[in-house]
Structure 1
Amino acid sequence: MALLFPLLLLIKLKGRDRDGVRLPPGPWRLPVIGSLHHLIGKPLIYRALADLARRLDAPLMYLKLGELPVVVATSPGAAREILRTHDATFASRPWTMTVKIFAADGQGIGFAPYGRLWRQIRKICVSELLSAQRVRSLRHIREEEVARLVAAVAATPPGVPMNVSERVAAVIADSAVRAMIGDRFERREEFLETVDAVNKMASGFNLGDLFPSSWLVKFVSGLGWRAHTYHLKTFEFMELAIKQHEEWRARVAADGRRVEEDLVDVLLRIQREGSLDVPLTMGNIKAIILDLFFAGIDTAATTLQWAMSELMRNPNVMKRAQAELRDILNGKPKVAEDDLTQMKYLKLVIKETLRLHPAAPLLVPRECGESCTILGYDVPKGTTVFVNAWALGRDPKYWKDAEEFKPERFEGSTIDFKGTDFEYIPFGSGRRICPGILFAHSNMELTLAALLYHFDWTLTVGMKPAELDMTEEMGLTILKKNDLHLHYVVRVPFQCAQ
């Protein structure tokens, strides 16, 4: 009995540090590495964090990942307090070593600290680059690129499986790049490889970022030189893209054709006007273009791969989506964006895909700017905060049959991905919600509609739908580890409308 009181006192004080701060509950920690041993051997960090939170019954959970204090939100209530109630407090991004290297020559919309520059870039994105009017004005690009995709699929020799992942990535890349520089990027394949590599590097769980004061860890991990290498490579791509943009404009003007303003034109025009409180440097412009490239390409392409995979695993859902398209279009030679307003079930398919496979499973990390209280717990200044959108979208407390792909669950529902329903926030919420939702969604919807309208899709002979490889890979987005290969049959021949 003599030991009982000290033991109870120790348990009571477990969640408090020496200054009386009441930290959220978390798993037991070790010296130096903190909570990292709970994640070793678990490459899908968002799943590991969700499992930890569930075992601890901790909607707000505290971990020490190396030197990094981290809080993870896994309930709608915790997400609401972070992203809405205390939105301004959590409006900045943590400046890890990786982020510092990539932002050395200029800051864009993605990782710029909350302040005058970020607010200015955000305003430009919302009012000029990614407004509803601007996105609508780019519809001809999306329709042309999707038409090229359909033609390319139809030209694949019969019996040869098609790499859907590659085709989807290419069409999304070409659509996004044409919107930005007016032309298809000449080094697209090399650029897409770089996008994939940076995606994996930017997950926020590199040893060099978790032990920022240790030169030995930085050296052994090789993070510094790898980040520098890819930073130089991405900015080289941006320089080439701007140069290609200028050459394309010159050719179009020489041919006497009308030159429409693309997104690079908008940024250069705003820079020339000189009316901004914080002038835009060429470094800022390149960083903004790079952010738009990554957000516009990776999010949409990854979501489409998961959508096609889920449809192949759920043939009845595929049939219903195709029936809707073919009944409404009734033999039209191609899908146009005006047709998409009638496609109710197609929209539900995309919403359900984003629920199960949110583009950024932990969103983009935030940093606590001032110490505050969330769900009754103290979150110290400087803490890195993750909101586990993947866990929220699969929580059986809020979703019936949470692990099953059922687009019908959204029929008659007001739940949407615009950041107000905190059990479903694939694009985030608050000040730093993704500004390119409409841009990405427009590409996803038209591409998926065309693939389902013109073709029937089958797996390799003998493979059952449940056997389709759904292995995930960790990155800033949830990547499909292995490409999706499918066979096709043309059902509605494509031809250019006269």
Structure 2
Amino acid sequence: MSLWYIIITLVVFAFILIAKNTKKTKKNLPPGPPRLPIIGNLHQLGSQPHRSMFKLSQKYGPLMSLKFGSVSTVVASTPETVMDVLKTFDIDCCSRPYMTYPARITYNLNDLVFSPYNKYWREVRKMTVVELYTAKRVQAFRHVREEEVSSFVDFIEQSASLESSVNFNQKLLKLSGSVICRVAFGINLKGSKLEKTYEQVIVEAFQVLGSFAAADYFPVIGKIIDRITGLHGKCEKVFEAIDSFFDQAIKHHLEDESIKDDIIDLLLKMERGEVGLGEYHLTRNHTKGILLNILTAGIDTSAQTVTWVMTHLIANPRVMKKVQAEVREVIQNKDHIIEDDIEQLEYLKLVIKEAFRITPLVPLLVPREASKDVKIAGYDIPKKTWIHVNIWAVHMNPSVWKDPEAFIPERFMDNEIDYRGVNFELLPFGSGRRMCPGMGMGLALVHLTLINLLYRFDWKLPEGMKAEDVDLEESYGLVCPKKVPLELIPVLTQWT
């Protein structure tokens, strides 16, 4: 009897210890929708994850738990929770999870966007801020932007004389591609290995980089699934095209010593040890990883910004009329339009802000990973949890923006909210340590292009189309382009 008493006592004591331990380790996770076995909440993402997540957040809250296969995820969807992630706890939430296909395309995470937060990332970030994207360097390549925009204007004038439409999605990619190739790579897009495929390569690169890949969520069978869906093959195709282009551009520099002061020149000096990068010695894969960010982000973001601005203007004739009146009053028969003219164009700046708000280029920021246990909005976020920041949800929040689906630039009048990462109601470029460092370079081209388009031409829709027929749907990727290409017919104005 005494033996049984001892056994029962020990068992009860063990249960008490287990219960206490369970109570201690139980996490207060954010609420979230029910999950299916194995796949979790992946079935709820749909073709536009930022929209699906926003809809779910309206039911489950501003900080929401989701499960994607084996990966635990939280989604921040309001200015308050986004500020916690990007500012208050930025140091603990700014690393990156390992993602299979971004790792492949970025030469094993040797870039700036997908690299985890570590010493290498900090050195590359410092180098890009100090060397690549300074105001001085942006100004140094001003003549390149002016020459390429002038060539673009010539093309539109020819289209106007023929009364033929301009495919903005296509032609603006070519414009920004031409600028980036000259600024960063010291070569012309025309005649390069990307000339005939750059549009497809850039678009597909962002599709791959923004994909919800099975390989990341199902460690055992994920890669097999991605081969079946074609994602693996698309990634390899994109990587080979970009890698071949980089080889061409680097070879061009090595063979022609007269090419100086562009971005490849600086990176090659780092490879040779002539310029330092902290304790790191750059290899060719480091160089290519850094160039990958410059090529893809530099080309696509500027092109898509101008496309979306023109889309919203043609869909809102009142705004188009008002912004063109301002541009023409300020410019007044100037033969040579310059980027600095944007400073006098107050309404155009409001139009650009509103376009960033209603159609942010990166509606779902690149996933982050908690580097340690952290508590946000009263909830526990365990170490290694993936964190998604839903910028689109913030920009569409009716508690933040009145009538959020309407394009109303005037909402920014007498409003100090800006898009430079300080105001968490408007974050098209992100915020904190991971904020886009190339914003100034990209906006310089956006401003110059838009001023020329609005000053020199009137615009009309193809025969039979009305403003209300303009499609505003986006395709999903890391950067979201307009799903149906924007086709507009230019009309020469009296100033040209």
Task: Provide the TM-score with structure 1 as the length reference.
Answer: 0.90
Match of 1:221 in 2: 229
The CA deviation string for residues 83-138 of structure 1, in whole angstroms up to 9 with x for no partner, is 11111111111112112322445601111111111011001100000111111111
Alignment of 1:163-242 (within 5 A): 163-185=167-189, 186=192, 187-214=194-221, 216-242=224-250
Please say if residues 106 and 288 of structure 2, whose CA atoms lie closer than 8 Å, have aligned partners that are also in contact: no
The aligned amino acid for 1:207 is A
Structure 2 alignment gaps of length 5 or more = 1-21
Matched, 1:133 2:136: yes
Structural RMSD (CA): 1.9
- Once residues 155 and 243 of structure 2 are traced to their aligned partners in structure 1, the CA distance between those partners, rounded to angstroms, is 31
- Once residues 365 and 17 of structure 1 are traced to their aligned partners in structure 2, the CA distance between those partners, rounded to angstroms, is 30
- Once residues 340 and 246 of structure 1 are traced to their aligned partners in structure 2, the CA distance between those partners, rounded to angstroms, is 38
Aligned residues: 468
**Structure 1 residues 102 and 461: CA distance shift in structure 2, 3 A:** closer
Task: Kindly state the Cα deviation for residue 351 of structure 1 after the two structures are TM-superposed.
Answer: 0.9
Please say if residues 91 and 432 of structure 1, whose CA atoms lie closer than 8 Å, have aligned partners that are also in contact: yes
Match of 2:313 in 1: 311
- Once residues 79 and 66 of structure 1 are traced to their aligned partners in structure 2, the CA distance between those partners, rounded to angstroms, is 24
The aligned amino acid for 1:240 is Q
Please say if residues 363 and 426 of structure 1, whose CA atoms lie closer than 8 Å, have aligned partners that are also in contact: no
Task: Kindly state the Cα deviation for residue 225 of structure 1 after the two structures are TM-superposed.
Answer: 4.1
The CA deviation string for residues 286-334 of structure 1, in whole angstroms up to 9 with x for no partner, is 1111111111111111111111000001111111111111111111123
Match of 1:36 in 2: 42
- Residue 487 of structure 1 aligns to a residue whose secondary structure is strand
Please say if residues 163 and 489 of structure 2, whose CA atoms lie closer than 8 Å, have aligned partners that are also in contact: yes
Alignment of 1:443-462 (within 5 A): 443-462=445-464
| 1:415 counterpart (395, 414, 417) | 417
The aligned amino acid for 1:35 is N
Matched, 1:48 2:52: yes
- Once residues 162 and 360 of structure 2 are traced to their aligned partners in structure 1, the CA distance between those partners, rounded to angstroms, is 34
**Structure 1 residues 434 and 492: CA distance shift in structure 2, 3 A:** farther
Task: Kindly state the Cα deviation for residue 19 of structure 1 after the two structures are TM-superposed.
Answer: 3.5
Match of 2:148 in 1: 145
Match of 2:340 in 1: 338
- Residue 425 of structure 2 aligns to a residue whose secondary structure is coil
Task: Kindly state the Cα deviation for residue 159 of structure 1 after the two structures are TM-superposed.
Answer: 2.3
Task: Kindly state the Cα deviation for residue 339 of structure 1 after the two structures are TM-superposed.
Answer: 1.9
**Structure 1 residues 225 and 487: CA distance shift in structure 2, 3 A:** closer
- Once residues 195 and 401 of structure 2 are traced to their aligned partners in structure 1, the CA distance between those partners, rounded to angstroms, is 39
Please say if residues 270 and 281 of structure 2, whose CA atoms lie closer than 8 Å, have aligned partners that are also in contact: no
Matched, 1:92 2:100: no
- Once residues 154 and 32 of structure 1 are traced to their aligned partners in structure 2, the CA distance between those partners, rounded to angstroms, is 57
- Residue 426 of structure 1 aligns to a residue whose secondary structure is coil
- Once residues 406 and 101 of structure 1 are traced to their aligned partners in structure 2, the CA distance between those partners, rounded to angstroms, is 41
Please say if residues 208 and 223 of structure 1, whose CA atoms lie closer than 8 Å, have aligned partners that are also in contact: no
| 1:325 counterpart (285, 309, 327) | 327
Larger radius of gyration: 2
- Residue 94 of structure 2 aligns to a residue whose secondary structure is coil
- Residue 29 of structure 1 aligns to a residue whose secondary structure is coil
Alignment of 1:65-144 (within 5 A): 65-104=68-107, 107-144=110-147
| 2:28 counterpart (13, 22, 38) | 22
- Once residues 361 and 189 of structure 1 are traced to their aligned partners in structure 2, the CA distance between those partners, rounded to angstroms, is 29
- Residue 458 of structure 2 aligns to a residue whose secondary structure is strand
**Structure 1 residues 155 and 17: CA distance shift in structure 2, 3 A:** farther
The CA deviation string for residues 211-250 of structure 1, in whole angstroms up to 9 with x for no partner, is 2332543443344444334223322221112234456x55
- Once residues 222 and 464 of structure 1 are traced to their aligned partners in structure 2, the CA distance between those partners, rounded to angstroms, is 38
- Once residues 300 and 412 of structure 1 are traced to their aligned partners in structure 2, the CA distance between those partners, rounded to angstroms, is 27
Please say if residues 312 and 318 of structure 1, whose CA atoms lie closer than 8 Å, have aligned partners that are also in contact: yes
- Once residues 337 and 225 of structure 1 are traced to their aligned partners in structure 2, the CA distance between those partners, rounded to angstroms, is 41
Task: Kindly state the Cα deviation for residue 411 of structure 1 after the two structures are TM-superposed.
Answer: 1.6
- Residue 91 of structure 2 aligns to a residue whose secondary structure is coil
The aligned amino acid for 1:190 is T
Task: Provide the TM-score with structure 2 as the length reference.
Answer: 0.90
Structure 1 alignment gaps of length 5 or more = 1-15, 254-258
